[in-house]
């Protein structure tokens, strides 16, 4: 919801910190079906059916997906975070976080589809993107990858489907 509201009314927010977000409901439906997660049924009840059932159903999935509204030059500063294990031990693949970053990032700062696939398939940072991003606000869950583009920061940390409140609050205080 944080990214959906940031995309729909960006000038309302001083900044938005989003953690392990679902950004494309149609993609998440397919991911849940493939993984045997029950959330696909919940999506169908909420959106009136499965993606592809009808143009009206597809419109519901698009209207409820943050990627529909996120774009470069978005007014609100964004901090988008995900644990490297989400989608493996949690329910939302980190591709959602990385694609949200790409939607608002300058073209030269975007993460390639091949690198996103590596993050998801291996639950690891691609070797050529590995670095050191010390951040005491993440505590024992160290930052594995970070990139900034304009007023948006993406962080992948050593964890799962969770929020690190100290990190979220520290970022919000910094804007």
Are residues 157 and 116 part of one domain? yes
| This prediction's pTM | 0.95
| Same domain, yes or no: 35 and 10 | no
| Average pLDDT of the segment spanning 121-134 | 95
Check whether residue 18 and residue 29 sit in a common domain: no
pLDDT, mean of residues 136-153:
96
pLDDT value at residue 90: 86
pLDDT-derived band at 161 (thresholds 50, 70, 90) equals: very high
Output the six-digit token pair for 143.
């930052």
Distance CA 5, CA 7 (A): 5
pLDDT at 75: 87
Assess whether 19 and 100 both reside in one domain: yes
Q: Characterize 71-102 residue by residue with b for buried, 16 or more Cβ atoms within 10 angstroms of its Cβ, and e for exposed.
A: eeebebbbbbbbbbbbbbebbbbbbbbbbbbb
Q: Are residues 59 and 84 in the same domain?
A: no
Query: Based on the domain organization, do 41 and 96 belong to the same domain?
Result: no
Q: Is position 132 within any domain?
A: yes
Looking at the fold, whether 12 and 31 belong to one and the same domain comes out as: no
Cβ contact 146:133 at 8 Å: yes
Number of domains in the chain: 2
Query: What pLDDT sits at residue 108?
Result: 97
59 part of a folded domain: yes
Give start and end residues of each alpha helix (H) in 64-175: 95-104, 113-122, 165-174
CA separation for the pair 166, 59 (Å, rounded): 37
94 with 143, same domain? yes
Report if residue 70 sits inside a domain. no
**94 and 58 both lie in a single domain:** no
> What's residue 118's pLDDT?
98
What Å distances lie between residue 165 and 7, 12, 16, 88, 143, CA to CA? 22, 22, 13, 22, 14
Q: What residue numbers bound the domain in which 57 lies?
A: 25-64
Q: What is the pLDDT of residues 57-106, one digit of tens each?
A: 999 999 999 999 999 988 889 999 999 999 998 899 999 999 999 999 99
The CA-to-CA distance between both ends of the chain, in Å, stands at 20
Q: Which residues contact 64 (CB under 8 A, 6 or more apart)?
A: 4, 25, 46, 47
Answer whether residue 69 is part of any domain: no
Residue 138 and residue 85 in one domain = yes
Question: Which helix H or strand E contains 88, and what residues bound it?
Answer: none
Mean pLDDT of the chain: 96
In a domain, 71, yes or no: no
Give the integer Cα–Cα distance in Å for 147 and 128: 13
Dihedral sign for Cα 163, 71, 149, 31, please. positive
pLDDT, tens only, 25-70: 999 999 999 999 999 999 999 999 999 999 999 999 999 999 999 9
């Amino acid at each position: 919801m944080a990214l959906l509201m940031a995309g729909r009314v960006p000038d309302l927010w001083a900044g938005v910190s989003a953690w392990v977000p679902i950004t494309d409901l149609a993609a998440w439906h397919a991911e849940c079906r493939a993984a045997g997660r029950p959330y696909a049924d919940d999506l169908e009840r909420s959106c009136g059916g499965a993606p592809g059932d009808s143009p009206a159903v597809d419109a519901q999935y698009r209207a409820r997906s943050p990627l529909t509204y996120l774009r470069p030059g978005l007014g609100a500063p964004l901090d988008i975070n995900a644990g490297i294990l989400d989608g493996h031990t949690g329910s939302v693949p980190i591709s959602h976080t990385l694609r949200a970053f790409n939607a608002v990032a300058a073209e030269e700062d975007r993460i390639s589809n091949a690198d996103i696939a590596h993050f998801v398939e291996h639950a690891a940072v691609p070797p050529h993107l590995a670095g050191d991003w010390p951040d005491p606000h993440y505590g024992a869950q160290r930052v594995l990858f970070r990139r900034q583009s304009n007023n948006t920061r993406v962080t992948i940390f050593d964890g799962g489907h969770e929020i690190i409140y100290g990190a979220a609050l520290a970022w919000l205080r910094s804007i």
